[in-house]
Amino acid sequence: MLPSASPRSPRSANAMVESLMKGTGFGQPRSRRSQRLRLWLPVAISFVIQVPPTIASVLWVEPSLLVGIATVTLAVLGPVLLIWVRRYPGPIVAILSVAGAADFLLGYSWTTPPYLALAFAVVIAISHGARTWTWVSMIVAWEGTLLAALLAGVALEPPRVVATTVGLLLVLGFAEANRRRLENFVQFQKAFTDRREQELREERVRIARELHDVLAHSLSQINVQAGVGLHLMHKQPEQAEAALASIKSSSKDALDEVRSLLGMLRNEDAAAGEFDSDAVPPVPEPDLSRLESLAASVRTQGLTVILSNDVPEQTPTAVQLALFRIAQESLTNVVRHAAATAATVTLVIDGHDYVATIADNGVGIDTDGHTAGRGLLGMRERAELLGGTLRVAEAKPRGTVVTARIPRRSASA
């Protein structure tokens, strides 16, 4: 089908990927419920793990009133400050590092719960770009804790010092790994977006090329046949009638192809291969079997066309479409610009290449390049997209030769 059968069309792949993304939530804005959950879940977890056990520990150990109040206050301070850690990640992680150090010294015991709020703050701060704040705060706070314990005469058991050090390193390591994962995720999203935009640009170029080839050829035929009909209307009515019939046939074919293309563009489900009941039926893409009808339509415009096609029917669809469109555009240029009386279209297999040659006996090409328009650009793009080349040169003694080569190996890959 005109837009979807081409192997270069990215619409089906994009539709499948976007459908999967919608189902998984990938690439979609986070809901307000999800944002609230991400905000309050660390607060709730750190509060449950820190505050009740700390209160129980204070009641069990029965320290001085001032130490007990300070210990419970520090335990509550951690979860409260987590509320603002995403807005002020650097300062919050620095404050919580000092609070964690004070909690470690004041309530130093094997039964004292870990200062979990600091772990959450470290992960969140690093993921929000406050790496320097986090590393400096953690290093200074831990070294200050050990120095303060030494100066204050607090006896620290080596196993707990080692366990706390390892715990802090594990938290930092997890935070860095999480940061790299998020960065890779963002890079993947950007790469996906760039690739999708590139594919959409290529798709727009492909559609423009298809429309140009269809309309340029058909309108050229209609213009010539209309001129013939007007000229012969009174002298040879039967030939004028044939010219009008050719106009009707050419316009119908062009309208069918354009309507099919535009109908697919309007259809939301066209990319997935599903069509509404009111959609325009798709028109099959042209292949080399339509070369004879192409030559016949050009002959009706007074041009002698000799056609020779030795390319087999088993040739890949993309190659057949490219060769047909190159031949169509070349003959259209011959009719419109060459003032030729005869043209030859030859398609052969030359070694490892498909070769299409279109020659005429017209006025030749403009050596200054003024006649090189979108038609020539479209032909060259069609050949190059399949790994081939297109060459336009003057023929001897007069005329123009268009030669397109498409590798057989790359076309079948």
pLDDT tens per residue across span 142-177: 989 889 888 887 778 888 888 888 989 999 999 999
Q: Is residue 263 part of a domain?
A: no
Q: Which of 284, 272, 324 has its CA nearest to residue 5? A: 284
Mean pLDDT, residues 386-410: 88
Look at residue 273 and give its three-state secondary structure: coil
235 in a structural domain: no
Instruction: Report yes or no on 214 lying in a domain.
Output: no
Half-sphere exposure of 384 (CA within 13 A, CB side): 9
Please check whether residue 408 lies inside any domain of the structure.
yes
1 is a domain residue: no
Q: Are residues 160 and 297 in the same domain?
A: no
pTM above 0.85, yes or no: no
What average pLDDT does this structure show over 2-22? 41
Tell me if 239 is assigned to some domain: no
Q: Is the same domain home to 155 and 294?
A: no
3-class secondary structure, 195: helix
Helix, strand or coil for residue 345? strand
Mean pLDDT of 121-146: 91
Given 169, 193, 217, the domain boundary residue is 193
Q: Please give the average per-residue pLDDT across 73-91, as a whole number.
A: 91
How many structural domains are present in the chain?
A: 2
pLDDT tens track for 212-257: 666 666 666 676 667 666 666 767 676 666 667 767 776 776 676 6
E strands, 269-370, in order: 304-309, 342-350, 353-360
Q: Which is higher by pLDDT, 363 or 232?
A: 363
- Per-residue pLDDT averaged across 96-118, rounded? 81
Q: Could you tell me if residue 59 is inside a domain?
A: yes
Phi-psi region of 374 (alpha: psi -120 to 50; beta: other; left: phi over 0): alpha
Distance CA 122, CA 116 (A): 10
Among residues 178, 193, 208, the one where a domain terminates is 193
Looking up tokens 């979860």 gives 79
SS3 (DSSP) at 227: helix
Number of residues in the chain: 413
**Domain edge (last residue) among 176, 193, 210:** 193
CA distance 50 to 143: 23
Tell me what pLDDT residue 307 has. 93
- The DSSP string of 277-291 is TTSPPPPPPP-GGGH
Helix or strand run (H / E) with residue 158: helix 158-232
- Least Cα distance to 207 among 411, 9, 405 occurs for 9
In this structure, are 174 and 298 located in the same domain? no
Domain that holds residue 369: 287-413
